[in-house]
Amino acid sequence: KVFATPAEVAVTVRYNSSQTALPTRKWGAFAPGTGVGGSGLHWTAVLIRPTPTDIKLKTYVDEAYKPGILQDDMRVMDFPFSWEEIEPYYYKFELICGQSGNTGNLRGKILEGGDPFEGPRSEPYPLPALDDTLNNVMFKEVATKLGYHPFPNPSACVSRAWKNPYGNQIAPCNYCGYCSKYPCLNYSKASPQTAVMDSLKRMPNFSYEVNAEVIKVVLNDDKKTAKGVIYIDAQGNECFQPAKIVVLSSFQLYNVRLMLLSGIGKPYNPITEEGVVGRNYAFLSNGGATLFFKDKNFNPYATAGATGQMFNDISPGNFDGPSLGFLGGAKIHSSQATGTPISTALPKGTPTWGMGYKEGLEEWYGHSMKISITTTCQSYRDIYLDLDPNYNDHRGLPLLRMTFNWKENELKLQQHLKGIVGNIAKELNPDSMSMSFLPMGADFDLTKYVSTHNVGGAVMGDNPKTSALNKYLQSWDVHNVFVPGGNAFPQNFQANPTDTIGAITLMAAQAIKDQYLKNPGPLVQA
């Protein structure tokens, strides 16, 4: 069991604040993990950095966009650090994971075969890229022909045997085909278990309790410090764990919920825009084209989760977004993440059950490839998280309520990407193809899987009036509470979030060790 169930951690969802939110009964658009390691146990393992422009998006908007081009209710922010500050922590996390890929920008020098748009790296990728599958080769050839700059998906499925800085061994990937949404039986995918836990368990001052759920952070009377947490153990007993420092390290949605349940930070009010916990929630959209070839066999059973080629030409600052009237971008890629027959795509008109489905599966398994998009998503005044007044969980505590829908900006982006993907697909000349993109006016569909890249809700920033956390992920209000995770992102970029989550967490850990333990208190003055 690696996925949380809605019975345990449901959220309620609505499009706008005039509606009554309803609870999720089955995961669809996203699927949080559970247990030790959480979603880090079964992730796809694409480990990519955002660009320096992504880190300073508000600065880019102020410089590149004239007033009136973007929606008035958009609330993008800069991350509260520079590329130069965060880059060493990216590299440290990538060493922990055994990141595999091609370097594109080494200390300002652009290298062939990598991403020319990436921020300057202090060191090359720790390991070479994964091997390409047939779809990668085809996509790379056509994308290059059309003027784009494809490169291998950066991967935490390691291409060679790797011993990380903690002394943990990660085995080389054997392309088993069971990767995305599966734990790795070959110990080839970086996860908390393979990359960190074995070293932690050897330390005499470390222990952990499984099958336990923290339900509240307990504050001291002054409300400026926490004294511990209340949790439910495996036997159903309510327990108190005293603590000098509390680190909330559950999934993004549940970090926000714990802060709200515990009274850490003022809840966000979208009408007045006062409060900080719950604001700047963002998700992402996907889409793409599925191409069918009768005479090509893509061998989908021989793949790693991160196997693929992508290009970053359509990310903020790398194309003329201002003239198109929207902010954002996407990584466009052809990936082959998992080879299970039940998940294979079939041509339009194939029956979805019975003998016709079986015949279609036999005919077309291994004969399709995808061109996909992973997009940015901006934050907005009326998109937020709070506690639901109507629905409680199995312990009687309010569920987290999500108010979210697509905005015009994100739908304009989808339409622009549709043209780019369509041109690549036509150049590949498939026997048939299908396209899936959000039309203008589309509503968020909770039933179809998109990604588990939920971000925001307890964001980091320089201003305690607009952010819940400072640059070290420390609560502005309760200084011995730290909240690492995707919750800290002020909006979502096109890069997968894991590399950035690792980097900001390592930066926070360094500050706790070097500064906070010696002199407990706020690490940044408000």
Q: Alpha-carbon distance 36 to 272, whole Å?
A: 39
Residue type for 444, please? F
Which letter does DSSP use for residue 195 in this model? I
Distance of CA 118 to the CA centre of its chain: 18
CA pair distance 245, 15, nearest whole angstrom: 37
Q: CA-CA distance, 70 to 129, in Å (whole number)?
A: 38
Which among 42, 367, 453, 479 is annotated as catalytic? 453
- Alpha-carbon distance of 372 to 436, in angstroms, equals 9
Tokens of 31: 């699927």
CA angle, residues 456, 242, 394, in degrees to nearest 5:
55
d(CA 365, CA 292): 10
Catalytic status, residue 416: no
Rg (the chain; Cα; Å): 23
Distance of CA 199 to the CA centre of its chain: 26
- Round to whole Å and give the CA distance between 441 and 5: 31
Cα–Cα distance for residue pair 9/417, rounded to 1 Å: 34
167 Rama class: left (phi>0) / alpha (psi -120 to 50) / beta: left
Find where tokens 């299908």 sit.
Answer: 434
* Assigned token pair, 165: 């800085």
Query: Measured between alpha carbons, how far is 375 from 198 in angstroms, rounded to an integer?
Result: 35
* Spatial CA neighbour of 52 closest among 75, 85, 76: 85
**Which helix H or strand E contains 85, and what residues bound it?**
helix 83-97
Angle CA 15–330–297, to nearest 5 = 110
Q: Which two tokens stand for residue 232?
A: 């439910």
Q: List helix spans (H) across 402-476.
A: 408-428
Separation of alpha carbons 434 and 139, rounded Å: 16
Distance (Å, whole) CA 453 – CA 492: 8
Return the closest-CA partner of residue 332 out of 34, 75, 115.
115
Phi, psi of 95 (to 5 degrees): -65, -40
Just list the catalytic residues: 453
